[in-house]
């Protein structure tokens, strides 16, 4: 397995939040681009394990808002944070309802 890193600009390295599987930054981006079960798994892991500021390096707020209902069960203790954030952005008009 590749070593973990917080250097998310290096596409060949494994992101710190994928501690349980050996995917590089490039491989993660490619997997997130394909709709389906694997994308949902990885997006859930990203939202649950990554720092919120790092999430936006991989997905947009609109993508998170769209996927949140089906990902809620995958988010663990981070679920209230993401629900609060997306609801707040919708209330402020930054995201469409």
Q: pLDDT (tens digit, 9 = 90+) per residue, 41-72?
A: 999 999 999 999 999 999 999 999 999 999 99
Contact call for residues 29 and 18 (beta carbons, < 8 A):
no
Please state the domain extents for the chain: 4-91
Per-residue model confidence (pLDDT) at position 1 = 85
Task: Judge if pTM exceeds 0.85.
Answer: yes
Q: How far is CA 23 from each of CA 5, 28, 41, 74, rounded to the nearest angstrom?
A: 12, 6, 13, 19
pLDDT bucket at 97, cuts 50 / 70 / 90:
low
């Amino acid at each position: 397995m590749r070593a973990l890193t917080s250097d998310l600009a290096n596409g060949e390295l494994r992101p710190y939040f994928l501690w349980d599987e050996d995917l590089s930054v490039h491989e993660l981006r490619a997997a997130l681009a394909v709709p389906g079960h694997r994308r949902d798994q990885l997006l859930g892991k990203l939202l649950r394990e990554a720092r919120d500021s790092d999430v936006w390096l991989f997905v947009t707020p609109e993508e998170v808002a769209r996927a949140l209902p089906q990902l809620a069960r995958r988010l663990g203790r981070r679920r209230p944070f993401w629900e609060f954030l997306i609801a707040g952005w919708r209330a402020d008009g930054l995201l469409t309802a």
